[in-house]
């Protein structure tokens, strides 16, 4: 069944580069929703991550500017040193507010704001990681009627983050890493 | 799995949005701080964060407290305004400033620099040190402004945790610093205090970009990672304010993720460094 979704938001910490590249490689070129992702990283990492991930994806990948318009079929990577949020008018809001869960960007900041703006037209995906950022935000997405996926702890390089979300009851589906990309393609595109 | 059925539907979101607008209106009317044109998503997260921390059942009940308790308001104000920064944040920017802006400033007899939204002051001291190393400090006057008097007080003191300072040392080196950052500060227990001489040409003043006016004939305006807190109309207002406050040929420095693209005033400036967001006001007025 095809669904009209505005966005997919994803978050990862330890092991995220491998997880994101695997998932993005599984998304088709005509993906109908925007993809926004947060990877915990040091502020001095520059925008290297967007460049790296663009090599695995048929979709355009970029680290956005503040107030940049969010377009379907584009991938937005939170720039290091900034929280990345979603405004209701489909634009990106960046902030240098204090770190959340010791992280800036923080997954919760993205998930809460996207959950607020998009409600049921959102998919939240929480991946491998070694702290508990993202589980509150993922639960918020669920409570807003959005769909929520968690990477299975056994397929995660670091299981703490997925486990925190599962214990909280935030996960509607728990999937192995290799299945997440195809699942999203199927869920949104009906391939 | 203990999935709770506590659905948050669009009606509830709408009510929260109204409550947040009323809170910001209350703050404006009673305390004069105007957050009504701030970026919605960030404001909302901060308000909800404070709500969760304080345990009030609703934003409306928190608003009631804000209206009656100034001390509680000060806590919330801190949540709403504090822009967490560091010395030499984005070292490449300071390097570019040294290489591309300083040579021009050296041709001026007197230099006025406005640091708008200076927060706790880390970046104003970064600039003061840079000017001193370039032999320009004595010719310069630095105006450090912020909306929040409490962070201005912290900026004026110039006391920072020693752990953070160690990280700033690395930033300073990457920014092209000529000495050792520790030469500009004195360690005391687990803090460092910036040298008094760096403060002699800095004026600290409160100024609200959302409501206050032009800040006279500047040669350089630094406003990095402040515009991101504003919605687009307020961003436009502030860029116009900067345009009006700058001398012809003056420099405007924004955060590396901030843009003049959405300001409607892009034509008034030349791009000096695209990726590090250094702009220069055109010598000939664009509307002449």
Closest in B10, B85, B262 to A67, CB measured: B262
* Residues B42-83 pLDDT 10s: 999 999 999 999 999 999 999 999 999 999 999 999 999 877
What ipTM describes this predicted complex? 0.91
**Contact partners, residue A188, CB within 8 Å, separation at least 6:** A2, A3, A5, A8, A31, A32, A33, A123
CA B59 → CA A109, B34, B48, B68, B146, distances in Å?
19, 18, 8, 14, 26
CA A160 → CA A15, A70, B12, distances in Å?
12, 30, 32
- pLDDT per position in chain A (191 positions), as tens? 455 789 999 999 999 999 999 999 999 999 999 999 999 988 777 778 999 999 999 999 999 999 999 999 999 999 999 999 999 999 999 999 989 899 999 999 999 999 999 999 999 999 999 999 999 999 999 999 999 999 999 999 999 999 999 999 999 999 999 999 999 999 998 75
Residue B32: exposed, middle, or buried by beta-carbon count in 10 A (0-12, 13-18, 19+)? exposed
| Of A2, A52, A11, residue with least CA distance to A31 | A2
Ranges in chain B annotated CATH 3.40.50.150: 91-281
Token pair for B88: 């030499």
Provide the 8-state DSSP code for A6: S
Closest-CA distance of chain B to residue A136, Å: 12
Is the bond into A105 cis (omega within 30 degrees of 0)? yes
- Chain B residue with CA closest to A121: the answer is B10
The percent of residues above 70 in pLDDT, for chain B, comes to 97
Residue carrying structure tokens 């915990």? A40
* Residues B110-151 pLDDT 10s: 999 999 999 999 999 999 999 999 999 999 999 999 999 989
User: Does the B91-281 domain belong in CATH 3.40.50.150?
Assistant: yes
- Told to judge if A46 belongs to the known catalytic residues of this protein, a careful annotator would answer no
CA distance B224 to B83: 10
- Told to judge if A40 belongs to the known catalytic residues of this protein, a careful annotator would answer yes
- Told to judge if A83 belongs to the known catalytic residues of this protein, a careful annotator would answer no
Q: Does A144 touch chain B (CB under 8 A)?
A: yes
What is the model's pTM? Answer: 0.93
Q: Which domains does chain A have, with CATH numbers?
A: 7-189 (3.40.50.180)
Provide the 8-state DSSP code for A63: -
């Amino acid at each position: 069944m095809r669904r009209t979704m505005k966005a997919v938001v994803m978050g990862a910490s330890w092991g995220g580069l491998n997880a994101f590249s695997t998932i993005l490689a599984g998304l088709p070129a005509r993906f109908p929703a925007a993809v926004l992702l947060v990877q915990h990283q040091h502020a001095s990492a520059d925008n290297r991550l967007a460049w790296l991930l663009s090599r695995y994806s048929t979709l355009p990948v970029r680290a956005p500017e503040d107030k940049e318009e969010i377009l379907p079929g584009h991938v937005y990577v939170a720039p290091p040193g900034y929280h990345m949020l979603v405004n209701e008018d489909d634009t990106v809001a960046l902030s240098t507010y204090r770190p959340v869960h010791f992280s800036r960007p923080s997954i919760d900041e993205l998930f809460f704001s996207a959950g607020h703006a998009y409600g049921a037209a959102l998919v939240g995906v929480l991946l491998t990681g070694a702290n508990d950022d993202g589980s509150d935000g993922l639960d918020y997405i669920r409570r807003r009627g959005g769909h929520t996926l968690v990477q299975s702890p056994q397929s995660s390089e670091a299981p703490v983050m997925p486990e925190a979300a599962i214990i909280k009851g935030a996960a509607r589906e728990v999937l192995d890493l290799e299945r997440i990309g195809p699942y999203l393609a199927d869920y949104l595109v009906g391939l | 799995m203990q999935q709770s059925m506590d659905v948050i539907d669009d009606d509830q979101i709408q009510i929260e949005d109204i409550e947040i607008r009323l809170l910001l209106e209350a703050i404006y009317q009673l305390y004069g701080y105007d957050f009504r044109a701030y970026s919605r998503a960030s404001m909302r997260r901060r308000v909800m964060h404070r709500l969760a921390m304080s345990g009030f059942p609703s934003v409306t009940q928190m608003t009631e407290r804000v209206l009656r308790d100034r001390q509680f308001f000060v806590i919330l104000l801190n949540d709403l305004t504090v822009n967490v920064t560091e010395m030499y944040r984005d070292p490449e920017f300071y390097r570019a400033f040294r290489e591309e802006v300083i040579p021009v400033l050296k041709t001026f007899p007197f230099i006025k620099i406005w640091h708008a939204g200076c927060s706790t002051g880390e970046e104003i001291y970064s600039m003061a040190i840079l000017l001193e190393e370039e032999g320009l400090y004595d010719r310069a006057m630095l105006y450090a402004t912020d909306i929040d008097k409490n962070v201005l007080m912290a900026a004026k003191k110039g006391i920072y945790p020693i752990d953070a300072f160690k990280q700033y040392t690395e930033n300073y080196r990457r920014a092209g610093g000529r000495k050792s950052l520790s030469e500009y500060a004195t360690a005391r227990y687990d803090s460092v205090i910036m040298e008094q001489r760096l403060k002699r040409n800095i004026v600290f003043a409160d100024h609200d970009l959302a409501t206050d006016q032009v800040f006279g004939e500047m040669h350089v305006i630094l406003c990095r990672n402040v515009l991101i807190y504003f919605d687009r109309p307020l961003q436009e207002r502030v860029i116009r304010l900067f345009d009006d406050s700058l001398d012809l040929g003056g420099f405007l420095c924004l955060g590396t993720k901030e843009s003049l693209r959405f300001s409607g005033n892009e034509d008034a400036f030349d791009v000096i460094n695209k990726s590090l967001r250094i702009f220069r006001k055109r010598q000939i007025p664009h509307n002449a």
